[in-house]
Structure 1
Amino acid sequence: MTGEAPLTLDAGFTADPFPALAELLAGGPVRHVVLPDGSEHWAVSRYADAVRVLTDPRMGSEARRALTPAGAAPGRSHPGDHMMNGTLMDRDPPSHTRLRRLVGRMLAARVERMGPRIQEITDELLDALEGQQHADLVEALAFPLPIRVIGELLGVPHRDLPGLRRIGGDLLGFVTDQRSARDARATLSRTREYLALLIAAKRSRPGHDLLSELVAAQAADGRRISDDELLAMALLLLVGGHETTVQLIGTGVLTLLTHPRQLAALRRDPAALLPGTIDELLRFDGPTSPGLFRYTLDDVEVGGVTIPRGSRVLIVLGAANRDPRRFPHPDLFDIGRQDNPHVAFGHGAHFCLGARLARLEGRVAIGSLLKRFPDLRLAVEPDELTWRFASVRGPDTLPVELGAPRPADPGD
């Protein structure tokens, strides 16, 4: 690939990716990397190159269009490749354009109305913490809020949500052996069976949810979305609609608690600083790691290096978001950063469909938590935390000392 030795992104990368990100940025424009599943990729790390690659029509999202059977071996070309097959993340135009236009319009209209409900769920979860001295914020807030929100959007019965607890971890975890591959396939099969039954239920008894709306669109004109596409869309919305937000909230709270001056500034003026804080959290330590995957449909030149047709390409979002060529003092966490066009949600046609919802949930969850518990602090040293071994990065747990809650404000 290149003259440099391959860089292996192993389990240590998920716990502390920043030395590897710095090494990628300090090297050439393209680097040969090996993922935990053993698959080899051309890694693009510089911001300008990442933006170009993510908008280049010669970079496809459908592995089957670009890779020969030999080129697809030995490991999976994507940590969640088996899950992404047929979803928007695995589609190129024109099918991607058709499906995204359909669901994007429906989702945007619903997100506009979700603010009050997200606040209600957040307040309920925080109410349950009152009177406690310690809590795991992943279990108490970061996971239950996004799964309940996406569950309500899709019309998943509340009683079924606990059974979905492990789906994201199983489907997005790195596959490194036969056991992890078998677990991922089993989880995928169970999830698809569940969603097929849920779709059938929406056909016989539609509700006011997004999945019912998609079913109605199919009934009105089956050319807009097929049965397989509907099932794949439900899967992507269910998993993608909560997993990244779980990690945004968990990693975001951790980052703030380990940067006390920035936290103090946010507490002084949350109304002005919270929106920018969410974007800086996404830039500084975003959840999608190691990045996004593409496949070359033709030879593509990046920074003077030709990536041959039929290659696997990794766009390393965390590196692009810390590129000193684009972000002044990129390793500095600064919630007042004004010029912050990060690529944590991707870029171009595949820009994250749920970005607006994730930002909204992040603002409500983190803002409400800090307001309710002004003395919140970590209960362990940061280096004692363990991190998920998955393509969506975040702490497994986040133990905190809550302190005394803020007295209720009659105006709240």
Structure 2
Amino acid sequence: MTHPESAPEVLRYPFGEPHLLDLDHRYAGLRDTEGLGRVEVRDLGSAWLCSRYADVRRILTDSRFGLTPPADPATPPDGAGPAADAAARCPVAATGANTAAAPGREPAPTSAQVTRVTRGGLKPRQVERLRGATEKIADELLDGLGRLDRGGPPGARATTDLMAGFVKPLAAEVLCELLDIPAGERPGVRARLLGAATTASPPSGADQEDRRALARRLAELIAARDPAGRSADDLLSAMIRARGEGEERLSDRQLVIAALRLLLPGLQNTVLMLSNFVRALMHHRSELERLRHRPDLVPSAVEELIRFTPFHSTSTFPRYASEDVEVGGTLIRRGEVAVGALCAANRDERAFTDPDSFDIGRGENAHLGFGMGTHHCPGAALARMQLQVAIAALARRVDDLYVAPVANARSVHDPGGRVIGWFDPLPATWSAIRP
């Protein structure tokens, strides 16, 4: 067993800007080295880096690891602290709402409370009810892109930004369905959602106003719902039903914050993942062609894209040990930080056969792309459904899809050591869009 005082070379983490499909070679070296790697995380300090699948899974599922330091008189309550603050300040995880307790106001909901009030509206059964509407949205967006074919000479390849014309409006419109937004309001709400879920850090004045306006509209929608949440089956009604009783009861303001903490990261994550998946499929055109002829492989293709594509998010949020814990042959002391390299764990040969190969028909695929245990992404079912619908629609209807290999990669670093990457715009051409 290794100990902090006997640890080898300390590496700076993250290792650098991520690449589309290639992992930094240091991950493989760390996986093959006994114990955990000692790293210095920008804006966070010293941490243990878990790069093996079993070790990352351990810190995600072991209740002795949390987002906040262990209880101490000087330690802020749940929902605060360095690691939780890193999560709150992450551009992708930004809530758009003030999560601190203002004077005379109740505190913001904790992460556990957010999960409690939102999970009822995001169960797989609930999400499946949205699949038909999501397929209709995807088809209508592709119909719109298909009309671009008619404006040029015969045989000309239509060109558009797939992010602006398909990826972003699809993800935003699905959230309007989830919230049961009236049809006449949807264009404005879509724009607010996309502005509020910006990756800019710090957000612009316009982005902040989008967040405030969205919060106000959510407050109005919650106030208009049946007080017991019995009148509808949308997300907000489910949250009202799960708000709790007595001291555990969340106020309308707390429900708004909880909704924003779910919706905005979920929207941004879906957009970023889909942009990366499209680029990944451009690098594996034979698998895209295989998918066109085997639509039954769409679910496994999405799981493989989540596992294989490291560009979306390199690591987990940092986790604090609440007591001394041995992980991967290393003793992590109480109060020390562990960071899980999701991208490396999902390419670990101990967990996956031929992990550096991209196979949309891969069978066993217990990737960690959506986390695990209590740290499993609450919006995973919704994201999966949207990604499946989008990839299926593109494969089925868009002939000869081609995304230009331009220098349009973007990335942001959050204070917890994560690097989030994506492509925007996605300048795409095609020969035809089928009916």
**Which of the five TM-score ranges fits, normalised by the shorter chain?**
0.7 to 0.9
Q: Give aligned-pair identity as a percent.
A: 32
Cα offsets for 1:294-350 (capped at 9, x unmatched): 111112211221122112321111111001111121111111211111010001122
Name stretches of at least 5 consecutive residues in structure 2 with no aligned partner.
Answer: 101-108, 150-157, 414-418
Give the equivalent residue in structure 1 for 2:140.
124
Distance in 1 between the 2:409 and 2:61 partners? 35
SS of residue in 1 equivalent to 2:320: strand
Work out whether residues 15 and 387 of structure 1, in 8 Å CA contact, stay in contact via their aligned partners in 2: no
Give the equivalent residue in structure 2 for 1:80.
89
Give the equivalent residue in structure 1 for 2:268.
243
One-letter amino acid of the counterpart of residue 164, structure 1: L
- 2:56 counterpart (34, 50, 53): 50
- 2:192 counterpart (154, 163, 168): 163
SS of residue in 2 equivalent to 1:281: helix
- 2:13 counterpart (8, 21, 26): 8
Distance in 1 between the 2:330 and 2:121 partners? 41
- 1:106 counterpart (107, 114, 121): 121
Distance in 2 between the 1:128 and 1:222 partners? 50
Work out whether residues 11 and 36 of structure 1, in 8 Å CA contact, stay in contact via their aligned partners in 2: no
Distance in 1 between the 2:346 and 2:28 partners? 11
- Alpha-carbon RMSD: 3.5
SS of residue in 1 equivalent to 2:432: coil
Q: Which shows bigger deviation, 111-120 or 96-105?
A: 96-105
TM-score normalized by structure 2? 0.78
Give the equivalent residue in structure 2 for 1:231.
256
Q: Which shows bigger deviation, 273-282 or 103-112?
A: 103-112
SS of residue in 1 equivalent to 2:115: helix
Give 1:186 shift.
9.3
Give the equivalent residue in structure 2 for 1:30.
36
Distance in 1 between the 2:73 and 2:318 partners? 13
Question: Residue 204 and residue 339 in structure 1: after superposition, are their counterparts in 2 closer, same or farther (change >3 A)?
Answer: closer
Give 1:197 shift.
4.6
Distance in 2 between the 1:388 and 1:59 partners? 27
Distance in 2 between the 1:190 and 1:120 partners? 27
Work out whether residues 151 and 238 of structure 1, in 8 Å CA contact, stay in contact via their aligned partners in 2: no
Give 1:39 shift.
4.5
One-letter amino acid of the counterpart of residue 114, structure 1: L
Question: Residue 83 and residue 220 in structure 1: after superposition, are their counterparts in 2 closer, same or farther (change >3 A)?
Answer: same
Distance in 1 between the 2:75 and 2:112 partners? 27
SS of residue in 2 equivalent to 1:145: helix
Give the equivalent residue in structure 2 for 1:280.
304
Distance in 2 between the 1:137 and 1:67 partners? 51
Give 1:151 shift.
2.8
Distance in 1 between the 2:21 and 2:129 partners? 37
Distance in 1 between the 2:40 and 2:195 partners? 26
Distance in 1 between the 2:42 and 2:168 partners? 25
Work out whether residues 62 and 295 of structure 1, in 8 Å CA contact, stay in contact via their aligned partners in 2: yes
Give 1:14 shift.
6.4
Q: Does the alignment pair 1:398 with 2:426?
A: yes
One-letter amino acid of the counterpart of residue 409, structure 2: T
Q: Which shows bigger deviation, 73-82 or 45-54?
A: 73-82
Q: Does the alignment pair 1:202 with 2:222?
A: yes
- 1:289 counterpart (311, 314, 325): 314
Distance in 2 between the 1:121 and 1:74 partners? 37
Question: Residue 193 and residue 261 in structure 1: after superposition, are their counterparts in 2 closer, same or farther (change >3 A)?
Answer: closer
One-letter amino acid of the counterpart of residue 165, structure 1: L
Q: Does the alignment pair 1:307 with 2:341?
A: no
One-letter amino acid of the counterpart of residue 203, structure 1: A
Aligned length: 389
Distance in 1 between the 2:165 and 2:366 partners? 31
- Taking the TM superposition and a 5 Å limit, the aligned residue runs for 1:341-352 are 341-352=366-377
- 1:146 counterpart (152, 161, 171): 171
Work out whether residues 47 and 336 of structure 2, in 8 Å CA contact, stay in contact via their aligned partners in 1: yes
- Taking the TM superposition and a 5 Å limit, the aligned residue runs for 1:255-270 are 255-270=280-295
Give 1:251 shift.
1.2
Give 1:274 shift.
1.0
One-letter amino acid of the counterpart of residue 116, structure 1: G
Give 1:193 shift.
6.3
Question: Residue 116 and residue 298 in structure 1: after superposition, are their counterparts in 2 closer, same or farther (change >3 A)?
Answer: same
Give the equivalent residue in structure 2 for 1:60.
66
Give 1:220 shift.
7.4
Work out whether residues 33 and 43 of structure 1, in 8 Å CA contact, stay in contact via their aligned partners in 2: yes
SS of residue in 1 equivalent to 2:411: coil
Question: Residue 67 and residue 386 in structure 1: after superposition, are their counterparts in 2 closer, same or farther (change >3 A)?
Answer: farther
Give 1:50 shift.
1.3
Give 1:289 shift.
2.7
Q: Which shows bigger deviation, 184-193 or 52-61?
A: 184-193
Cα offsets for 1:26-56 (capped at 9, x unmatched): 4444223344546443211110111121111
Distance in 1 between the 2:40 and 2:163 partners? 30
Q: Does the alignment pair 1:386 with 2:409?
A: yes
Name stretches of at least 5 consecutive residues in structure 1 with no aligned partner.
Answer: 88-93, 174-179
Distance in 2 between the 1:204 and 1:217 partners? 17
Cα offsets for 1:228-248 (capped at 9, x unmatched): 542331112211321221122
Identify the structure with bigger relative contact order (alpha carbons < 8 Å, sequence gap 6+): 2
User: 1 or 2, which has the higher helix percentage?
Assistant: 1
Give the equivalent residue in structure 2 for 1:91.
none
SS of residue in 1 equivalent to 2:412: coil
Give 1:359 shift.
1.2
Cα offsets for 1:99-144 (capped at 9, x unmatched): 5344212322431210110011101111111134112222222221
Distance in 1 between the 2:128 and 2:390 partners? 17
Question: Residue 220 and residue 67 in structure 1: after superposition, are their counterparts in 2 closer, same or farther (change >3 A)?
Answer: closer
One-letter amino acid of the counterpart of residue 146, structure 1: A
Q: Which shows bigger deviation, 17-26 or 122-131?
A: 17-26
One-letter amino acid of the counterpart of residue 376, structure 2: F
